[in-house]
Amino acid sequence: MEEKQYLVDALSIEESWRVFRIMAEFVEAIDALSKIQRAVSIFGSARTRPEDPFYQKAEYLGRRLVEKGFGVITGGGPGIMEAANKGAAEAGGKSVGMNIRLPFEQKPNPYANISIDYRYFFIRKVMFVKYAVAYIILPGGFGTMDELFEALTLIQTRRIKSFPVILMGSAYWQGLLHWLKETLLTDGMILPEDLDLIQVIDDPDEAVRHILKYVIV
């Protein structure tokens, strides 16, 4: 009985210290990102290779955003994230990599000149939204979908100020968009205006121009 109580007390203490670790991670992230005034968060697969057209598009996009006065925020890993950070860094801008500790795939790329290491996904997601004036979503997997629908939910429920959410890669996203329209909208799960929260733009320069309509740099 005493041993069981000891384990309960130990677990309780561990949970209490977890709160302090969470607070410390928030403070560290806010301190590191406080110098970012306007940034665009770019998402996409960690598995995209440098020879892939979407890698090259993300790199160009990062460069063009910096040239127009924006910083660039990514998840800090390889693939699309690396490409966007590379374009931003080589253009002389603020290139933020918010790396998450994972047992596979996620390793920090070398192009983030502001780098933050996260233990908790939810803190990282807060920071993506807090310092972004727009989201650009390139082809990706579950993590990319998670960030996309997180932003759409927060905007839809007015928990954050609305900002541009751009899908880049119309052929890749057409199945999802068809499902949103033909299933969610048809079944009354979302409203017609909810679909207006998403813009599909394949050209990086057009995407930047679209963001500039909403943001004064």
Domain 39-214 CATH (choose: 3.40.190.10, 3.40.50.20, 3.40.50.450, 3.40.50.200)? 3.40.50.450
Strand partners, 74: 97
The pTM score is: 0.89
pLDDT for res 173: 98
DSSP 8-state symbol, 93? S
The residues near 61 (Cβ < 8 Å, ≥ 6 apart) are 42, 84, 87, 136, 168, 204, 207, 208
The ranges assigned to domains in the chain are 1-31, 39-214
**What pLDDT tens digit does each residue of the chain (217 aa) get?**
555 554 444 446 677 778 889 999 999 999 999 888 899 999 999 999 999 999 999 999 999 999 999 999 999 999 999 999 999 999 999 999 999 887 765 678 999 999 999 999 999 999 999 999 999 999 999 999 999 999 999 999 999 999 999 999 999 999 999 999 999 999 999 999 999 999 999 999 999 999 999 986 5
